[in-house]
Homo-oligomer: A and B are copies of this chain.
Amino acid sequence: MAVFSSLTPVFVAVLCVVVLYLFKNFSRSEGKGKTDAKSSVAARPWVDEDLQDNTEISPVEDDDALADGEDDVPHVPYVPVLYTPEVMLQRSRDFYTLLNARRSVRFFSPEPVPRDVIENIIRTAGTAPSGAHTEPWTFVVVEDPQTKHRIREIVEEEEEINYKQRMGEQWVNDLQRLRTNWVKEYLDVAPFLILVFKRTFGLRPSGKKKTHYYNEISVSISCGILLAALQNAGLVTVTTTPLNCGPQLRQLLRRPPNEKLLMLLPVGFPAPDATVPQLHRKPLEDIIVFV
Shortest Cβ gap from A197 to chain B (Å): 9
Interface size of A as a range:
35 or more
Max chain B C-beta neighbours (<10 A), residue from A82, A122, A142, A234: A234
Q: B177 to A262, Cβ gap below 8 A? A: no
Identical subunits present? 2
Shortest Cβ gap from A103 to chain B (Å): 6
A139-168: CB near B (< 8 Å → 1, else 0) gives: 111111001000000010011001000111
Task: Note all chain B residues with C-beta closer than 8 A to A209.
Answer: none
CA distance A10 to B4 in the complex (A): 11
Task: Note all chain B residues with C-beta closer than 8 A to A51.
Answer: 106, 178, 180
Shortest Cβ gap from A148 to chain B (Å): 9
Task: Note all chain B residues with C-beta closer than 8 A to A76.
Answer: 275-278
Q: B89 to A120, Cβ gap below 8 A? A: yes
Q: With A45-B166, A96-B120, A227-B221 given, is the CB distance from A78 to B54 under 8 Å? A: no
A79-118: CB near B (< 8 Å → 1, else 0) gives: 0111101011101110110011111111100000010110
Task: Note all chain B residues with C-beta closer than 8 A to A77.
Answer: 273-275
Shortest Cβ gap from A11 to chain B (Å): 5
Q: Which residues of A1-17 are within 8 A (CB) of B?
A: 3-4, 6-8, 10-11, 14-15
Task: Note all chain B residues with C-beta closer than 8 A to A54.
Answer: 174, 177-178, 277
Give the nearest-CB partner of A55 in chain B.
B174
